[in-house]
Structure 1
Amino acid sequence: MTRITRRAVLGASATLAMPITLRAQPRAIRWGELLPATHPQVLMVDRIARELREKSGGRLEIQSFPGGQLGSGRDMMEAVSTGALQFTTDGAGALAAFLPPLSVIEAPYLWRDAAHMAKVAATPIFARLNDQLVARRGMRMIGITYYGKRHLTSSAAKPVRSVGDMAGFRLRVPPVDVFRAMVEAWGGRPTPIAFPELYLALAQGAVDGQENPLPTIHSAKLFEVQKHLVLTGHIITPRMPIVNEAFWRSLATPDRDVLEAAIASAAQWQDAELARQEGELVATLKAANMEVIEVDVAAFRAPVLAKVPAQFADRWGQGTFDTLAAL
């Protein structure tokens, strides 16, 4: 009869445990976000992470870095391009710094509503732009999500009740030339400021106002430093999860399928959540002592459509704006 000693049991246990421990180490996927952790776009990433961890048996793990921890939006897109970061999420206008024709997808007064905007993902125009982004910068857009309808806010000293009030108005915009052209068409002074610096810039009066969707205005607490909410609805913004192409191709096909499905599922939740919040936030911001100003949207739209599509037609392709508008 073989005698089993305590030392033998412990030695065997250690031997068995070692390869299991090594196999259990997850593959880390870094995902950077500019928005605060409470924004639905960041919560979308959290949902993707949970589903991916569950469906991969813990082999794949998304590490989320919200609130601009990894730098500006441009910094994070550069990092995705080089492979230092696997994922980020940003708008078409910002991504146009890497592929200029992409800015058409975030053109002012292009989309009628979120459902109209969502149609672009199935068009040859979007597929061609994605192929070009992969070829030129090593990044791929994984579909399109809804970020919201953008509105203006302004300081107590600078109420905006008509497009004429935009003359000389210092409006913070993201560093996107189409946004700058829109503000100039209104007669304003576009002022690019990185989003993490926006609250302080508004508090110090460096700019008179800013523009963003209602959930962003609320989650960033901009109502604390802005008095007027001006319902211009000037841009319906798409946001795209962007992945490093080499990383994407390095995943086994089943893992890539699981990740793509998790993104699609979480994006559907995020889109619905943003729409729900938009339906409530005008009242919420009014309760936070913002004055809600309903302007003549057609008067804001007219000078922009008279100038901006023609100004960018060579970049976007002749007729592209009209083709998308007619979807």
Structure 2
Amino acid sequence: MSTLTKRAFVLGSAVAGAVVSMPSVLRAQATVLRWGEMLPTTHPQVQMVERIAKQVKEKTSGRVDIQSFPAGQLGSGKDMMESVASGALTMTTDGAAALSSFLPQLSVVEAPYLWRDSAHMTKVAKAPVFAQMNAELEKKRGMRMAAVTYYGKRHLTTGTKVVKSAADVAGLKLRVPPVDTFRAMVEAWGAKATPVNFNELYLALSQGAVDGQENPLPTIHSAKLQEVQKHLILTGHIITPRLIIVNTDFWKSLNDADRTIVEAAIADGVVWQDQELANQEASLVATLKAAGMSVTEPDMDSFRKPVLDSVPKQFESKWGKGTWDALASL
């Protein structure tokens, strides 16, 4: 054996011995889970991800490392969902209607005036129709819905126009997510639906590219939309779920023990986040009013009736015959 070969062997043996003597948590490379979010760090959804990451790291002794990328760092919501489907990103959270670009019938889960309250909405996760959608999403796009979270009750805001009924929004440019059901709802009110990505919304409102928008109170507040919107109209038109989605191949690659830990952490995180959002909703009307917004309780029927008269019929072929009624009766 040559001197060089011997030296290499001795060095290699020394390194190997050091590796063997290292604690296993340091020896093994952590499984990294990258989780992208559109929302700012101040939103409970992002704080939920951080809580999940902390719990998973503790319970797995560092074997699984969840890295959070909030505030649209990794692109638009659609960009991140595409990345989860391809495996470039492990997880993200988005609305059911947005996810319908991958599975059209999913938009029914975020349909206007479907859910009576948040408790009614959370029943969807155990509904047979939801399990069927999840199986189809996995088969077609390689990702699955790991959990349903409560995102809040959506309300309308405007920059200059006082709104007391749907007639008052006729002709207004209202920002909607780039989703067909949201466009149909706003058009049923007589307004001009204007799709804008969420990370561009503050600027669009400040520059007058759109006259108003609709979102849950915690989203309005965490994104500081009260700085560029004068009027809050408590329409409560959609009780919104957001879905935690994960790349299927990654999910299956986790060993059973680690997958169970991640599932438990997600379940705990969702319970915390849902309660935190409910708590915020209870106080944010007063907070936004103190920040200078006027608050109006409008004629609810004027908003509800034109939507229910047109939207369920318009999307029946997309959602599946009887799906709306099945979910409404849960």
TM bin (shorter chain): over 0.9
Supply the AA of the counterpart residue of 2:134.
N
- Pick the aligned partner of 2:177 from 174, 177, 182: 174
Q: Return the offset for 1:25.
A: 3.0
Equivalent-residue separation in structure 2 for 1:109 and 1:166 (angstroms): 18
Query: What is the percentage of aligned positions where both structures have the same residue?
Result: 66
Correspondent of 2:135 among 131, 138, 146: 131
The answer to whether the aligner puts 1:209 opposite 2:204 as a matched pair is no
**Alignment of structure 1 residues 124-273 onto 2, 5 Å:** 124-156=128-160, 158-273=161-276
1:87-137 Cα offsets, whole Å, 9 max, x none, are: 000010000000000000000000010000001111100000000000000
Once residues 14 and 47 of structure 2 are traced to their aligned partners in structure 1, the CA distance between those partners, rounded to angstroms, is 40
Aligned partner letter, 2:164: R
Q: Deviations over 1:15-43 (max 9, x none)?
A: 65434376243221100000001100000
* Aligned AA (1:132): E
| Partner of residue 309 from structure 2, selected from 298, 306, 310 | 306
- The 8 Å contact of residues 165 and 300 in structure 2, kept in 1 or not, is answered as no
In the TM superposition, residue 252 of structure 1 has moved relative to its aligned partner by: 0.3
CA distance in 2, matches of 1:12, 1:82: 40
Q: Distance in 2 between matches of 1:132 and 1:72?
A: 24
1:142 match: secondary structure: strand
The equivalent residue for 1:87 is 91
Structure 2 equivalent of residue 323 of structure 1 = 326
AA at the equivalent of 2:329: A
Deviation at 1:166, TM superposition (A): 1.4
Corresponding residue for residue 69 of structure 1: 73
1:53 and 1:73 mapped to 2: Cα distance?
A: 26
The aligned residue for residue 42 of structure 1 is 46
Q: How does 1:25-36 map to 2 (within 5 A)?
A: 25-36=29-40
The offset of 1:143, in angstroms, is 1.8
- Normalised to the residue count of structure 1, the TM-score between the two structures is 0.94
In structure 2, C-alpha distance between the alignment counterparts of 1:75 and 1:108, rounded to whole Å: 25
| Unmatched tracts of structure 1, length 5 or more | 1-10
For residues 187-233 of structure 1, what are the alpha-carbon distances to aligned partners after superposition, in whole Å with 9 as ceiling and x for unaligned? Answer: 01000001010000000000000000000000000000000000000
Match of 1:3 in 2: none
Q: Which structure 1 residue ranges, 4+ long, deviate > 6 Å from structure 2?
A: 11-14
Query: Is the contact between residue 33 and residue 66 of structure 2 (CA under 8 Å) also seen in structure 1?
Result: yes
User: Partner of 1:324: helix, strand, or coil?
Assistant: helix
SS in 2 for 1:231: strand
Q: Gapped runs of 5+ residues in structure 2?
A: 1-11
- Contact 1:24–1:58 (8 Å) recurs in 2: no
Q: Following TM superposition, by how much is the alpha carbon of 1:319 offset from its aligned partner in structure 2, in angstroms?
A: 1.4
Q: 1:8 matched to which residue of 2?
A: none
What code does the residue aligned with 2:98 have?
A: A
Distance between the aligned counterparts of 1:269 and 1:201, measured in 2? 32
CA–CA distance in structure 2, aligned partners of residues 27 and 121 of structure 1? 28
Pick which of 265-274 and 161-170 moved more. Answer: 161-170
Matched, 1:18 2:19: yes
